[in-house]
Structure 1
Amino acid sequence: MSYPAFRSVGSSVLHYCDTGKADGPALVFSNSLGTDFRVWRAVADAFAGTHRILLMDKRGHGLSSGPLDELTIGDLADDAAGLMDALGIKNAVFAGLSVGGMIAQKLAAQRPDLVKGLVLSNTGHKIGTDDVWQARIDAVLNGGIEPIADAVMERWLSEEFRKSRPVDLAGWRAMLTRTDAVGYAAVCRAIKMEDMTATTSTLTLPTLCIAGSRDGSTPPPLVREMADLIANARFVEIDGVAHLPCVEAPDRTVSELTSFLKEIGHGC
């Protein structure tokens, strides 16, 4: 097991966790905007006995660092590819949440040798509008993340979760507010710039697309639209959860992922 660990990849230094069954089929997890790789732990830990697990923080998040000027989703996909190359990981199922799902789509298009299948959770081929992202960037660079934190929690987590689990809510809020504001804004800008409609429509690898029924950031119709672009994609909607099913409904997420892995013959 490698935790915590750091690796120089190009001009970035990436924080990652390489754990689980060393000789098992690989599962790679990429986290969402404003989180570090702990957002996936409840799901990833369920597969540690059967799969090699790689979790990583992207640039500007968690303990990873690297150039942020003019950052693109392609740069973040290159970081993921470089880390996988360095660790000897290929033919992985790559699971991405929100912007992590955009990274997954880009990686599959750029480096198909690394990816056997995709899990695209609460994401899209194009997320949000330029005006919405620019307003978010301006707010964070001018006032930091704290002033937007409550609004973000309303998108991340359902009202039921927020009311019934105040301690957990405080923890996830702290993860968000401790994210570097410049790193957060840089990834917002990368999302704003990216429209992967053309490249995602060329993907043919097995793909599981997960939506949360109460997700206002990447609502189910957007996730379904993305799934319709991919030849071998299956769409699943998890009822009652918002933008982070891996946090709100880890057992259901594990169940859907287990079924998918069995279908494609990737362990389980």
Structure 2
Amino acid sequence: MPLAHEVTGPAGTPALLLGGSLGTTRTMWRPQVTALSQRMRVVVFDHRGHGRSPAPPGPYDIADLGNDVVDLLDHLNLDRVHYAGLSLGGMVGMWLAARHAERVDRLALLCTAAYLPPAGAWLSRAAQVRAHGTASLTDTLLGRWFTAGYADRHPDTVARLVTDLAASPAEGYAACCEAIAAMDLRPLLPEIASPTLVVAGADDPATPPREAQLITEAVPEARLAVLDRAAHLASVEQPARVTALLAEHFLEER
């Protein structure tokens, strides 16, 4: 069964896949889908264990999540696509671009990391979710996802994301935490041949700009953009700026 997904935009235009953050669903990309689907065939999906995608028993690793995307491409008869991923979606994107280079044209990596120790912190989060559910993470994650004051200014957006988080299957979320705990994509970065945009939130405590800098230095054709007044979910907090960066990267003339 393929990942849950939505396809919008004109047939025959370049295809773009959007992969989201841990604990979110494809609805986190709404601003980008609305804008980019005017000129691109946009496919937005839920990772396994998230949203309406299957949540098989763990353990998972990043390769499992990446192969889910390969299967989705095959299901949609898409031989080669652009790919943008934030956080967990970016981790999947790095694996995909290195291990299935023929499937990825241009790549964008947002608010992510190739290696994110300590593993014990991820295993503790997995244990918490299995014991108390994903809703138990709400207060902690809101402080990582957004800068101070954003939630008060945008209560409807935050409420939707919190609802999606609380609805995430505990086992799926926990198994994705375990995948991050075991992840080390640093050896793969020099193998990425796709022109790559790396985006960091200047105020991101989860994957701070130094993580983006390390990726940029290791990927042969990478450039870095750091967004002020943005924490981890930069695509939500700074939607217009992120959309503009993605449009420039994926639609510029070559």
Task: Check whether TM > 0.5.
Answer: yes
2:79 to 65, 86, 90: 90
Specify the alignment match of 2:244 in structure 1.
255
Match status 1:114 vs 2:103: yes
Distance in 1, Cα, partners of 2:13 & 2:198: 23
2:58 to 65, 69, 72: 69
Distance in 2, Cα, partners of 1:196 & 1:222: 12
Could you list the per-position Cα deviations for residues 81-122 of structure 1 after superposition, in whole angstroms to 9, with x for gaps in the alignment?
111112121321100010100100111112111100110000
Structure 2 unpaired stretches of 5+: none
Contact 2:198 2:222 in 1 (8 A): yes
Specify the alignment match of 1:158 in structure 2.
147
| 3-state SS of paired residue (2:85) | strand
Matched AA of 2:173 = Y
Match status 1:239 vs 2:228: yes
Match status 1:202 vs 2:191: yes
Q: CA deviation at 1:218?
A: 0.3
Alignment of 1:33-48 (within 5 A): 33-48=22-37
Distance in 2, Cα, partners of 1:258 & 1:167: 26
Q: CA deviation at 1:263?
A: 4.0
| 3-state SS of paired residue (2:48) | coil
TM-score (norm 2): 0.96
Query: Structure 1 227/68 Cα, relative in aligned 2: closer, same or farther at 3 Å?
Result: farther
Distance in 1, Cα, partners of 2:24 & 2:58: 20
Contact 2:101 2:192 in 1 (8 A): no
User: How many percent of aligned residue pairs carry the same amino acid?
Assistant: 33
Q: CA deviation at 1:163?
A: 2.5
1:172 to 142, 161, 172: 161
Alignment of 1:9-88 (within 5 A): 9=2, 14-88=3-77
Structure 1 unpaired stretches of 5+: 1-7
Q: CA deviation at 1:160?
A: 2.4
Distance in 2, Cα, partners of 1:262 & 1:177: 36
TM-score (norm 1): 0.91
Specify the alignment match of 2:179 in structure 1.
190
Alignment coverage as a number of residue pairs: 254
Q: CA deviation at 1:67?
A: 2.5
Specify the alignment match of 2:118 in structure 1.
129
Q: CA deviation at 1:128?
A: 3.4
Q: CA deviation at 1:66?
A: 4.5
Q: CA deviation at 1:246?
A: 1.1
Segment of structure 1 superposing worse, 138-147 or 206-215: 138-147
| 3-state SS of paired residue (2:121) | helix
2:214 to 225, 229, 232: 225
Segment of structure 1 superposing worse, 76-85 or 123-132: 123-132
Matched AA of 1:26 = A
Higher relative contact order (CA 8 A, sep 6+): 2
* Structure with more strand by fraction: 1
Contact 1:109 1:200 in 2 (8 A): yes
Runs of 4 or more consecutive aligned structure 1 residues displaced over 3 Å after TM superposition: 262-265
Report the aligned-residue RMSD.
1.3
Distance in 1, Cα, partners of 2:155 & 2:43: 30
